[in-house]
């Protein structure tokens, strides 16, 4: 027999909303955590589900004294739907207006671009210039290794990397010294560990 599928987040939201709608009462979170399982929402999920409803303005909450109360009425959902509908209507109107503007812009751009011998010649010239530009750019990239600025930047990067490598080498020697002093009885184990991580007898500072 197949295992029963748990509720999806949307189904949990609907079930928790139903608790509010059926009673039209005010609840503490701990009360909702007791009621949730009766609707198929485990108590551990109630807090997150209720918070998602609060974030969407489907459930209201307010602090009274030291307690936080949650409530929701069917009218809350209606107000939310009306607000969403109004926003969608506004977005649709703006999109229609923008569409008309783009159509007009397209028509304006078409003017003067009708097919003609002069236009074809201009396009061919533009294509040739673009190809020449691409070729020169590729040639320039081939000489990048000889660029003085690039070489200087590379040398600076090498110096930084060299200093960093020696700094870490110094740190490793300091750590080895500390381990030898702190754990003299584990000399063989430490030497074995050093070899495993690549710290051999020829490990030294970079020149």
- The whole-number pLDDT of residue 50 equals 92
Structure confidence by residue, pLDDT tens digits, 122-140: 778 888 888 888 888 877 7
Architecture of domain 9-73: Orthogonal Bundle (1.10)
Rounded mean pLDDT, 93-99: 80
Question: What whole-number distance in Å separates Cα of residue 162 and Cα of residue 89?
Answer: 63
CA distance linking residue 101 with residue 180, whole number of Å: 78
SS (H, E, C) the chain: CCCCCCCCHHHHHHHHHHHHHHHCCCEEHHHHHHHHHHHCCCHHHHHHHHHHHHHCCCCEEEEECCEEEEECCHHHHHHHHHHHHHHHHHHHHHHHHHHHHHHHHHHHHHCCCCCCHHHHHHHHHHHHHHHHHHHHHHHHHHCHHHCHHHHHHHHHHHHHHHHHHHHHHHHHHHHHHHHHHHCHHHHHHHHHHHHHCCCCCCCCCCC
Burial category of 169 from C-beta neighbours within 10 Å (exposed 0-12, middle 13-18, buried 19 and up): middle
Distance of alpha carbon 176 from alpha carbon 187, whole angstroms: 10
Rounded Cα distance, 153 and 147, in Å = 10
Whether 110 shows a pLDDT value over 70: the answer reads: no
pLDDT for the residue numbered 88: 75
| Of 36, 34, 33, 35, the residue nearest 12 (C-alpha) | 36
Q: What is the mean pLDDT of the chain?
A: 79
Quote the CA–CA distance of 192 and 196 in Å, as a whole number: 6
pLDDT digits (tens, 9 = 90+) for 15-44: 988 888 888 889 999 999 999 998 888 989
* pLDDT for 3: 57
Is the confidence at residue 1, as pLDDT, over 60?
Answer: no
pTM assigned to the model: 0.38
Distance CA 121, CA 117 (A): 6
Q: What is the pLDDT of residues 141-173, one digit of tens each?
A: 766 665 666 667 677 777 777 777 778 777 777
Rg (CA), the chain: 36
């Amino acid at each position: 027999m197949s295992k029963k599928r748990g509720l999806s987040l949307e189904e949990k939201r609907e079930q928790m909303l139903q608790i509010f709608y059926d009673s039209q009462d005010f609840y503490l979170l701990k009360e909702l955590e007791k009621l949730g399982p009766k609707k198929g929402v485990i108590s551990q999920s109630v807090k997150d589900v209720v918070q998602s409803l609060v974030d969407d303005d489907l459930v209201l909450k307010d602090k009274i004294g030291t307690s936080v109360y949650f409530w929701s009425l069917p009218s809350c959902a209606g107000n939310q739907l009306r607000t969403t509908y109004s926003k969608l209507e506004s977005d649709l109107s703006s999109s229609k207006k923008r569409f008309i503007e783009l159509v007009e812009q397209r028509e304006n751009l078409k003017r003067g671009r009708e097919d003609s011998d002069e236009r074809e010649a201009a396009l061919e010239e533009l294509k040739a210039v673009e190809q020449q530009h691409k070729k020169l750019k590729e040639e320039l990239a081939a000489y990048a290794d000889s660029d003085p600025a690039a070489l200087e930047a590379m040398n600076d990067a090498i110096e930084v990397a060299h200093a960093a490598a020696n700094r870490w080498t110094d740190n490793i020697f300091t750590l080895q010294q500390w381990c030898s002093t702190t754990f003299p009885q584990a000399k063989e184990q430490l030497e074995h560990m050093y070899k495993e991580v690549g710290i051999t007898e020829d490990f030294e500072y970079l020149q």
